[in-house]
Amino acid sequence: MEYKILLPGLCCILFAYYVYTPIPENVEEYWKVAILDAAMKTSSLTATLFENVGLIKYRDFFSLLVNTLLTKAVSDENITVIDTDISDIPVRLYLPKKKSERRRPAVIYIHGGAFVVGSTKLMPYDFLNRWTANKLDAVVLGIDYRLAPQHQFPAAIDDCVSVVKIFLQDKILAKYGVDPTRICISGDSSGGTLVAILTQMLQDDPEFKDKIKAQALIYPGLQFIDTLTPSYREYEHGPFLSKEVAINLASLYLTKDKELRRAALRNEHMPQDSRHLFKFVNWSVFLPEKYKKNHVYTEPILGKLNSSYPKFPHNRISPLLASDSQLQNLPLTYVLTCEHDILRDDGLIYVKRLRNAGVPVTHDHIEEGIHGALSFTTAPLFLNLGLRIRDKYISWLEKNL
């Protein structure tokens, strides 16, 4: 009984405290973002407390919150929406109803959520994918890949690869009336990570080479090597996505061992023999001057993690590790970055590296933007910024797919 009164009370106090903690002034819709930011920080602290007293796991707390936004497959006057499986992996398909003379483009969408929460069935993704199907007269496929920590690396990328390889078969494309020359893979945040890796893998596979026309990465995370880029430093405490929340959640994709998250927060998580990887993500080389400001490059510290720690194939986690010769074969690319985002520099570095390799890239940078805004395009949390991001992404698709 006392818990039931104390906890909401504590949350209110925390929330009130956080909501008056300043966030950057030029953020669009300041008060709405301040509320979102405070809600996120309160949730993170509550989740930490709950985990420490053994009530519920940190990640499960976030899942509970997020899963209140799950939707059913509801068709409307224009689009037939179907939940089905491809290769035993749940997917949601959006099929335009209108008769079409010619075959349609397709967009494969991979949702965000730090590899541990979320679903293509969440309201904001349902809204976005329906909107995409309507605006582009496209077939849209949302993938519900398996989530960590129940299913750790490489479950997420394996699922995406399996679904896409089946979807790309001629007979499946024909079944849904998809034009095989007009297929884009898109995703936001950790979904963007998966899209970038997936696109690289398909391009390296003789059977699937050149089958993807374009990729779209919306505020993607593209490396888990250096957690002290200028954007990690400047936006360590958010708004919205703090370094702590990002690393606490995303590290569960690799291991439940908390030592990794502790080491990653200090930028000391890379193994002894990994220095040769730094050149691919060295921000002091790839970041435009404007974003370097007065920051001084410091190398991640090696070998602090227990050497018995499992080793991961880093290029299946950090798509920025692809070599220039791998990058140069990649398709037309869209990258959207937000200024107030720890992952800003991941996107900026990828843009630079892709352009150096000769890949045509469209880059939209939103000065007033925050991470995750595309997930706030429906009631009760509605940001104009989210709609702006959606419209930029859709208009790029309209012109390029």
Ligand X SMILES: *[C@@H]1O[C@H](CO)[C@@H](O)[C@H](O)[C@H]1NC(C)=O
Which of residues 94 and 396 has its CB atom nearest to ligand X in the complex?
94
Tell me the two tokens of residue 17. 């405290």
Q: Is 93 helix (H, G, I), strand (E, B) or coil?
A: strand
Give the interface segment with ligand X, choosing from 73-81, 89-97, 150-158, 375-383 (CB under 6 A). 73-81
Task: Give the shortest CB-326-to-ligand X separation in angstroms.
Answer: 19
190 annotated active-site: no
Q: Is 170 helix (H, G, I), strand (E, B) or coil?
A: helix
Distance of alpha carbon 186 from alpha carbon 111, whole angstroms: 9
Cα-Cα-Cα-Cα dihedral sign, residues 164, 166, 171, 177: negative
Site for ligand X in 307-346 (CB under 6 A): 308
Task: Give the shortest CB-281-to-ligand X separation in angstroms.
Answer: 9
Q: Are 208 and 202 in contact (CB under 8 A)?
A: yes
- 115 backbone φψ class: left, alpha, beta (φ>0; ψ -120 to 50): left
Question: Does 85 contact ligand X by CB under 6 A?
Answer: no
Which of residues 50 and 127 has its CB atom nearest to ligand X in the complex?
127
Question: Does 384 contact ligand X by CB under 6 A?
Answer: no
Tell me the site size for ligand X, rule CB under 6 A: 13
189 annotated active-site: yes
Which of residues 60 and 259 has its CB atom nearest to ligand X in the complex?
259
Query: What type of residue is 390?
Result: R
Which of residues 1 and 379 has its CB atom nearest to ligand X in the complex?
379
Q: If we measure between CA atoms, which residue out of 200, 198, 274, 252 comes closest to residue 63?
A: 252
Judged by CB under 6 A, the residue of 285, 310, 324, 358 near ligand X is: 285
Give the interface segment with ligand X, choosing from 75-83, 164-172, 210-218, 221-229 (CB under 6 A). 75-83
- What's the half-sphere exposure (Cβ side, CA atoms, 13 Å) at 333? 29
Q: Is 231 helix (H, G, I), strand (E, B) or coil?
A: helix
Q: Is 73 helix (H, G, I), strand (E, B) or coil?
A: coil
371 annotated active-site: yes
Task: Give the shortest CB-345-to-ligand X separation in angstroms.
Answer: 14
Question: Does 78 contact ligand X by CB under 6 A?
Answer: yes
Backbone angles phi, psi at 218, to 5 degrees: -105, 120
Site for ligand X in 125-164 (CB under 6 A): 134
Judged by CB under 6 A, the residue of 21, 306, 384, 395 near ligand X is: 306
Please name the residue ranges forming H helices in 185-332.
190-203, 230-234, 243-250, 258-265, 283-286, 289-292, 324-327
Name the catalytic one among 43, 44, 186, 189: 189
Residues marked as catalytic: 189, 341, 371
Residues that bind ligand X (CB under 6 A): 76-78, 134, 278-279, 282, 284-285, 297, 299, 306, 308
